[in-house]
A and B are shown apart, each in its own frame.
Chain A
């Protein structure tokens, strides 16, 4: 029996319906083939597999078989029920069947001489045929091979794979690995056998847990490269693919007011209604004021807005707001505003993101403010933070609403933060707030350094914070190097020289 291998053979795919995973897999798992799921203990292999089966059965109406080498059917059913997946009901209604290879209570299993695995295949086959299953999850092949020690693992896995392929089922086989990076799994040959290899990782990074999924190979198909973070929520796995989203986001030329007429003028007529705006500056320069104003303005136009606060409590925000003539409490009462306060430390970045997405989904706002992003940066690694920002911005862009992020810089005068360097390319507009020390006085200056798709004011404008909010004054004259943090007075002569150099 020979199969003609055609280089451009079209691979049929089976969607897993696991949130975000099919984007990373460019459609799903290879149909009627074997995919390998590799990961260390606790990396989420069983949950991935269970969700694959659950969604196949309930959403695609395809029956499935669970081949367990580890836990008993009873334990699996019990453990997985916390996700709201009723496997017992699936078994009772003949849509799911278990093949358990773990009941063995024999004192000593010994391998002595030659043997073959046809009976194992036969057992899986019997279960598949009984309920006409189209999906199989084997968990985990390592538990099985461990018992077999010196056995020829590669050959056996080949036998098992080809048997599964012959049954016409789409299978996912999990395998244990003992380290997160380095050698792929306990048995190197496993990866050669499978058409598709997924790696799950579970690493501790700066005291925070980080879970990622990576497609190592996908025979005959393109796939997304790199590691994608995922989280295990109470309704299952949520993978965060950063790709594929940006492409679908359209941009509009419609403007939306910032809440400050002068600032709108500086931006060339307001923010774009589906853009991401970053406001960066040291503490006390009015970032919270600007974000409060941003959401308040939405509400004034009968639009809905969410303010995610990571630094201040609801009471503090409301009190601050009333100090600037912004009645946030009233806006919330009228249902136009939702203020969500969270400690950055209360969850990992993936969980924060997931919760934010859920709130956004429920509330359907036209504007979203996050005050501040840098509060989150403080508690997670640089890489996680970057992924968090990418995921959040692409999500907001996809929704085509306006996002307003603040960033607190570490130094009072000038300077750029890690946050700025990380997210500046992702944002459409950047507003810098700075303290300016001239003539023995601290003043505040603001400038628009980026306004994608529009002209904007290039001057550095002085402003003050009053009971009416933020009041813009005149541009600074005769001072330079404000933004770099060391302003100095410029003489008339110097200015002439500079002007000549520029023009």
Chain B
């Protein structure tokens, strides 16, 4: 795998294009990762078994599956600063990491 960042975005009964979380995540990835990432979108409406398996209780939920440790964020990532911090794009506020 050349792309070190891998995300799964879980939605419920929603198209990616309608999702604020999808829009915000894409924008952050473009800004910090220069497009070098994998993003998979799952609609739990059509694959409900994944909700149990992955223990998802709210949508949208973003799992950063790589790099380790796996990190989960619940919500639409509406604040880019904190979202970038939690996604591991920044290690410290006001300082770009990676």
Contact surface of A with B, Cβ cutoff 8 Å: 99-104, 106-120, 122-123, 126, 144, 148
Bound CA–CA A108/B72 (angstroms): 6
- Are the CB atoms of A113 and B59 closer together than 8 Å? no
Q: What are 6 A-B contacts defined by CB distance under 8 Å?
A: A106-B72, A110-B72, A112-B79, A115-B61, A116-B58, A122-B44
Q: Does B91 contact A (CB under 8 A)?
A: no
- Are the CB atoms of B75 and A114 closer together than 8 Å? yes
- Are the CB atoms of B21 and A113 closer together than 8 Å? yes
- Are the CB atoms of A112 and B48 closer together than 8 Å? no
B55 to chain A, nearest CB (A): 4
In-complex Cβ contact of B12 among A103, A107, A114, A116 (8 A): A116
A164 to chain B, nearest CB (A): 15
- Are the CB atoms of A112 and B83 closer together than 8 Å? yes
CB neighbours (8 Å) of B13 from chain A are: 118
In-complex Cβ contact of A103 among B55, B75, B78 (8 A): B55
Known contacts A107-B69, A119-B12: A114-B55 contact under CB 8 Å? no
CB neighbours (8 Å) of B20 from chain A are: 113-114
Q: Which of B20, B45, B61, B73 counts the most A-chain CB atoms under 10 A from its CB?
A: B73
- Are the CB atoms of A112 and B12 closer together than 8 Å? no
- Are the CB atoms of A107 and B71 closer together than 8 Å? yes
Q: Does B29 contact A (CB under 8 A)?
A: no
In-complex Cβ contact of B71 among A106, A118, A122 (8 A): A106
- Are the CB atoms of A113 and B78 closer together than 8 Å? yes
- Are the CB atoms of B79 and A119 closer together than 8 Å? no
CB neighbours (8 Å) of A109 from chain B are: 72-74
- Are the CB atoms of B51 and A123 closer together than 8 Å? yes
Bound CA–CA A200/B61 (angstroms): 35
Known contacts A107-B69, A108-B71: A113-B57 contact under CB 8 Å? no
Closest 8 CB pairs of A and B: A113-B75, A113-B78, A113-B76, A107-B69, A112-B75, A106-B72, A120-B57, A115-B58
A499 to chain B, nearest CB (A): 85
- Are the CB atoms of A113 and B12 closer together than 8 Å? no
Q: Which residue of B lies closest to A104 (CB)?
A: B55
CB neighbours (8 Å) of B61 from chain A are: 115
Bound CA–CA A185/B90 (angstroms): 37
Q: Which residue of A lies closest to B57 (CB)?
A: A120
Q: Does B52 contact A (CB under 8 A)?
A: yes
Interface bracket on B = 20 to 34
Known contacts A106-B72, A108-B86: A114-B52 contact under CB 8 Å? no
CB neighbours (8 Å) of A115 from chain B are: 58-61, 74-76
- Are the CB atoms of A118 and B78 closer together than 8 Å? no
Bound CA–CA A21/B97 (angstroms): 59
Bound CA–CA A101/B78 (angstroms): 25
Q: Which residue of B lies closest to A102 (CB)?
A: B55
CB neighbours (8 Å) of A107 from chain B are: 69-71
Interface string of B6-42 (1 = CB under 8 A from A): 0000101100000011001000000000000000000
In-complex Cβ contact of B74 among A100, A102, A112, A126 (8 A): A112
In-complex Cβ contact of A123 among B21, B48, B69, B72 (8 A): B48
Q: Which residue of A lies closest to B50 (CB)?
A: A119
CB neighbours (8 Å) of B74 from chain A are: 109-112, 115, 148
In-complex Cβ contact of B86 among A110, A119, A144 (8 A): A110
In-complex Cβ contact of A113 among B10, B52, B56, B79 (8 A): B79
Bound CA–CA A350/B70 (angstroms): 49
CB neighbours (8 Å) of B79 from chain A are: 112-113
In-complex Cβ contact of B73 among A100, A112, A116 (8 A): A112
Bound CA–CA A109/B86 (angstroms): 9
Q: Which of A106, A113, A117 counts the most B-chain CB atoms under 10 A from its CB?
A: A113
- Are the CB atoms of A118 and B77 closer together than 8 Å? no
Bound CA–CA A117/B12 (angstroms): 9
A108 to chain B, nearest CB (A): 6
Known contacts A103-B55, A119-B59: A112-B72 contact under CB 8 Å? no
Bound CA–CA A63/B60 (angstroms): 31
- Are the CB atoms of B51 and A119 closer together than 8 Å? yes
Q: Which of A110, A111, A123 counts the most B-chain CB atoms under 10 A from its CB?
A: A110
CB neighbours (8 Å) of A113 from chain B are: 20-21, 24, 75-79, 83
Q: Does B82 contact A (CB under 8 A)?
A: yes
CB neighbours (8 Å) of B78 from chain A are: 112-114
- Are the CB atoms of B44 and A110 closer together than 8 Å? no
Bound CA–CA A45/B4 (angstroms): 46
A99 to chain B, nearest CB (A): 8
B87 to chain A, nearest CB (A): 9
B28 to chain A, nearest CB (A): 11
Known contacts A101-B55, A113-B78: A118-B12 contact under CB 8 Å? yes
- Are the CB atoms of B55 and A122 closer together than 8 Å? no
In-complex Cβ contact of B57 among A108, A110, A112, A119 (8 A): A119
Bound CA–CA A431/B20 (angstroms): 81
Q: Which residue of B lies closest to A118 (CB)?
A: B12
B22 to chain A, nearest CB (A): 12
Q: Which residue of A lies closest to B58 (CB)?
A: A115
